[in-house]
C-alpha cells in the first residue's frame, strides 16, 4: 500500500472535481453549492512506476501489481468549523486518520462557480482553514491532557510522559508553532498523529488553476507560492479540468501526446505521488518473479523485517534473511536468473535498511 492523503479546502475550490479526476471516478458530487459532499469519498489509485513494467519484462512476470495511494475527499470546511459550523466537527473527524493533507486552494476565476466569501483570495482561504485546524487541535490537546491528568491522579504514573508530551504540543499549538516537528522524536510524532492532531500532519498546498494558467501561473497561485516558501510547505499546481480530461484517456500513448500538446511534463497524480513520497519519507521496494512483479511502499530507514511484514505478518515474525539486489542492477543484468548466476544478489539480515528500488526475496520460517 501507499499512503492515505486527505483532500481538504473551502467549499467550491475544486476538491471533489480533483478527486474525481484523480481516481477516474465520478463518485463525489461536484455541484455548485456548499456542502454538496457530506460523507468522505475514498478512492484508491495505482501508483505509476516504470520500473514495474521493466522488471516484469526481464522476469517474464504474468502480472503487475502497483502500490496504491488512497485519496479521501473531505467535505468543504468553513469559518467556525472547529465549533461545528457547516458540520465542521464531523468533517474534521474524517481527516484525523490520514497520513498527509492536501489543502486545495482556488486559484481560478469563474463567474459560474460561486466562492463562499464572494472573492478569490488564496491567502485568506488558507488562513481560515489552518486556523480552524489549529483551534480544533487546541481543544483536542486540552481534552487529552485532562484525561491523562485524571489517570495520573488515581496512581497511573505511566501516563506522565505522555501528559508532558501533550503539554509541549499544546504550547506549540497555542503559539501557532506547527513547524516545530524537529523538536519531536519519531516515536513522539507517532503518538501525536495517533491522537489525531491535524496541524502536525505533513501538509502540501494544491493550487487549482484554470487551463490557461497551469504552465505560467497567475496572480493567485503566485501568492501561494510566496507563502509556501515562507512556511516551507510543498506546493503542487494542478488544473482539475485538465486532470479530468487526462483521467478519461486510457491509452497511455494518447495521454502523453495530449500532455505534450498542453506542454505538461507531469500529470497532477504524478505530482501528488512525488510530493507525498517526499512528505512522508517513503521508499518503494519490489518483489518480482514469474508469477508477478509487485511494488510495496514503506518508511525510509525501515529494516528488512519491517518490509517483510508489509507482505505478511508471518514474514516478519519468522524472518531469517533477505536476498537483495537493486532494480537498476537487476535490469542491467537481464533478470533474476542472470543476477543469480553472476553472484550479484546479496543476502542481508535483520539490520539491513531497505533502499528505494530494492528487489527483495524474503526467507522466513513459520
CATH number at residue 179: 3.40.50.300
User: Would 286 be classed as within a structural domain?
Assistant: no
Domain span including residue 130 = 4-279
Tell me: do 23 and 162 sit in the same domain.
yes
Tell me: do 108 and 190 sit in the same domain.
yes
Tell me: do 323 and 209 sit in the same domain.
no
pLDDT tens series, the chain, 366 aa:
457 888 888 888 888 888 888 777 444 444 444 444 445 678 888 888 889 999 999 999 999 998 888 888 876 655 654 455 444 455 567 778 888 899 999 998 887 776 666 778 899 999 988 888 888 899 999 999 999 999 999 999 999 999 999 999 999 999 887 666 778 888 898 899 889 898 888 899 999 998 888 888 899 999 999 999 988 899 999 888 888 888 778 787 888 888 888 888 778 777 877 787 778 888 999 999 999 999 999 988 999 999 999 999 999 999 999 999 999 999 999 988 899 899 999 999 999 999 999 999 999 987
Predicted pLDDT of residue 27: 45
User: Would 112 be classed as within a structural domain?
Assistant: yes
Q: How many domains are contained in the chain?
A: 2
User: Would 64 be classed as within a structural domain?
Assistant: yes
Q: Cell 491523562 maps to which residue?
A: 148
Tell me: do 128 and 226 sit in the same domain.
yes
Integer Cα distance of 70 and 336 in angstroms = 31
Tell me: do 189 and 156 sit in the same domain.
yes
User: Would 295 be classed as within a structural domain?
Assistant: no
Tell me: do 69 and 31 sit in the same domain.
yes
CATH number at residue 339: 3.10.20.30
Tell me: do 135 and 77 sit in the same domain.
yes
Predicted pLDDT of residue 40: 61
* pTM of the full structure: 0.81
Note whether 152 and 178 are within 8 A (CB).
no
Strands across the sheet containing 63-65: 63-65, 292-299, 282-288, 358-364, 319-326, 346-348
Tell me: do 113 and 240 sit in the same domain.
yes
Predicted pLDDT of residue 95: 78
User: Would 250 be classed as within a structural domain?
Assistant: yes
- Rounded alpha-carbon distances, angstroms, from residue 166 to 100, 161, 296: 20, 9, 33
- Here the cell at position 48 is 505509476
Tell me: do 261 and 308 sit in the same domain.
no
Predicted pLDDT of residue 33: 42
Tell me: do 48 and 18 sit in the same domain.
yes
User: Would 312 be classed as within a structural domain?
Assistant: yes
Amino acid at each position: 500500500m501507499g499512503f492515505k492523503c486527505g483532500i481538504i479546502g473551502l467549499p467550491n475550490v475544486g476538491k471533489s472535481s480533483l478527486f474525481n479526476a484523480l481516481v477516474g471516478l465520478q463518485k463525489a458530487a461536484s455541484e455548485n453549492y456548499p456542502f454538496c459532499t457530506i460523507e468522505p469519498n475514498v478512492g484508491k489509485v495505482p501508483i505509476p512506476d516504470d520500473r514495474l513494467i521493466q522488471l516484469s519484462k526481464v522476469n517474464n512476470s504474468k502480472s503487475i501489481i502497483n502500490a496504491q495511494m488512497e485519496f479521501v475527499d473531505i467535505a468543504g470546511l468553513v469559518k467556525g468549523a472547529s465549533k461545528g459550523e457547516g458540520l465542521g466537527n464531523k468533517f474534521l473527524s474524517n481527516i484525523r486518520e490520514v497520513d498527509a493533507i492536501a489543502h486545495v486552494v482556488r486559484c481560478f476565476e469563474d463567474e459560474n462557480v460561486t466562492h463562499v466569501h464572494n472573492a478569490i483570495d488564496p491567502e485568506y482561504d488558507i488562513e481560515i482553514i489552518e486556523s480552524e485546524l489549529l483551534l480544533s487541535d487546541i481543544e483536542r490537546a486540552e481534552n487529552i491532557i485532562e484525561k491523562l491528568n485524571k489517570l495520573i491522579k488515581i496512581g497511573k504514573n505511566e501516563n506522565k510522559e505522555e501528559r508532558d508530551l501533550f503539554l509541549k504540543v499544546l504550547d506549540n499549538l497555542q503559539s501557532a508553532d506547527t513547524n516545530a516537528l524537529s523538536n519531536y522524536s519519531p516515536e513522539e510524532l507517532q503518538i501525536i498523529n495517533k491522537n489525531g492532531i491535524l496541524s502536525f500532519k505533513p501538509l502540501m498546498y494544491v493550487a487549482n488553476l484554470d487551463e490557461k494558467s497551469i504552465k505560467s501561473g497567475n496572480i493567485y497561485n503566485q501568492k501561494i507560492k510566496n507563502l509556501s516558501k515562507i512556511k516551507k510547505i510543498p506546493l503542487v499546481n494542478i488544473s482539475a479540468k485538465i486532470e479530468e480530461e487526462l483521467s478519461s484517456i486510457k491509452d497511455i500513448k494518447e495521454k502523453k501526446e495530449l500532455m505534450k500538446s498542453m506542454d505538461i511534463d507531469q500529470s497532477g497524480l504524478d505530482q501528488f505521488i512525488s510530493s507525498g513520497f517526499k512528505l512522508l519519507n517513503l521508499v518503494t521496494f519490489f518483489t518480482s518473479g514469474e508469477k508477478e512483479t509487485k511494488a510495496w511502499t514503506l518508511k525510509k530507514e525501515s529494516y528488512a523485517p519491517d518490509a517483510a511484514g508489509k507482505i505478511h505478518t508471518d514474514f516478519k515474525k519468522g524472518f531469517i534473511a533477505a536476498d537483495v539486489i537493486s532494480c537498476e542492477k537487476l535490469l542491467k543484468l537481464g533478470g533474476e536468473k542472470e543476477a543469480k548466476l553472476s553472484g550479484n544478489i546479496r543476502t542481508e539480515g535483520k539490520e539491513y535498511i531497505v533502499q528505494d528500488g530494492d528487489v527483495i526475496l524474503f526467507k522466513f520460517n513459520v
